[in-house]
Amino acid sequence: MNKIQNKVYAKRIIIGSLIFLLLISFVVLFFVLKHSSSFNKTNEFTYYDKSAFEMPKDITPKPPKPQEATSTAKFKIPILLYHYVENVADPNDTTRKKLDINPYTFEEQLKTLKEASYSSIFIREIPAIAKGKNPPPVKPIALTFDDGYRDFYTVAYPILQKYQMKATIYIISGFLDWPNYLTKKQLTEIAASGLVEIASHTVHHVALKNANEQVITKELVESKKSLEQIAGETVTDFAYPYGSFNDKATTLVKDAGYQTAASVVSGSFQSTNNLYFLYRLRPGGKVGKALLDWLERLKK
């Protein structure tokens, strides 16, 4: 081998090594990114996947069975969706801030609704309205709170009492007594007030779309049972954690004995067709005329 050949070999080795290193870096980068996104998906505080706000593809509006088809009418019943009601202490806690409404704005919203003669109803009142068995109030509205955070007891509940507005709270039964969540004692007191309907949000905040059937049924049945023991009344309503559901999930919820299930798909008209994916709305920070105009303008 002469010197020129040696040089050519050395060059090839260097170029080969560089390509090899580059490939390794790509592989490492791929796994890091993949891991971080799957971590986010399972993280309790990374809330909604974009798809949660869209209708699942396998849901087709099915006409109700003849014996159930007491009404095909649609009723405008806006269902507002809340999580935290507090002044978030940690300014860096962006997830909590995104799920939060400050107490002042929340009170202004209730005041606005009350003064505009909106009547708050429980979610459990909706099936009879949708089926034409009970007439809806003139301006119905439902207030719903997901997850059962402790600030519901310390902040939201006193404001609801002040304005005598009904609300439905979707509880993660297995998280009761955990820090940040309601205690069983607080929930018992809330349930006894008659102002708040206790509803289920599974035992462990499980996304139903990808869970196995037995797990789903267990979550649905056990949360219902334990909440009924605390609330001292039948629990008939459910909300999908992360807004995650599909056609199979709607059937399992129905089979577990629930009368309704709330989604986070946006809309305000409820009917017998969507009792197992009730539409909900996020009011944001709207108060006064802006809130009323927004509610008036809803055409879907």
Q: Give the binding site for Zn ion (CB under 5 A).
A: 146-147, 241
Residue 144 or 271: which CB sits closer to Zn ion?
A: 144
Return the number of the residue (205 or 225) whose C-beta is nearest Zn ion. 205
Strands 84-85 vs 140-147: parallel, antiparallel or unpaired = unpaired
Nearer to Zn ion, 112 or 202 (CB): 202
130 vs 206, which CB is nearer to Zn ion? Answer: 206
Strand 84-85 relative to strand 79-82, pairing:
unpaired
CA distances from 58 to 43, 50, 173, 269 (A): 26, 17, 29, 21
Least separation in angstroms between CB 146 and Zn ion: 4
CB of 205 to Zn ion, least distance (A): 6
Q: In whole angstroms, how close is the CB of 46 to Zn ion at the nearest point? A: 12
CB of 257: closest distance to Zn ion in angstroms? Answer: 21
We find the least distance from the C-beta atom of residue 215 to Zn ion, in angstroms, to be 17
Return the residue nearest Zn ion (CB atom): 146
Of 47 and 75, the one with the shorter C-beta distance to Zn ion is: 47
- The distance of closest approach from Cβ of residue 148 to Zn ion in the complex, given in angstroms and rounded to an integer, is 9
Q: How far is the CB of 97 from Zn ion (least distance, A)?
A: 16
- Residue number, 187 or 291, with CB nearest to Zn ion: 187
Kindly tell me which of 81 and 121 has the beta carbon lying closer to Zn ion: 81
Q: Across-strand partners of 147?
A: 171
User: What's the rounded Cα separation, in Å, for the pair 58 and 55?
Assistant: 9
Distance CA 85, CA 63 (A): 38
**Burial of 30 per CB tally in 10 Å (0-12, 13-18, 19+):** exposed
| 257 φψ region: left (φ > 0), alpha (ψ -120 to 50), beta (else) | left
What is the closest distance, in whole angstroms, from the C-beta atom of residue 300 to Zn ion in the complex? 23
CB of 56 or CB of 241, closer to Zn ion: 241
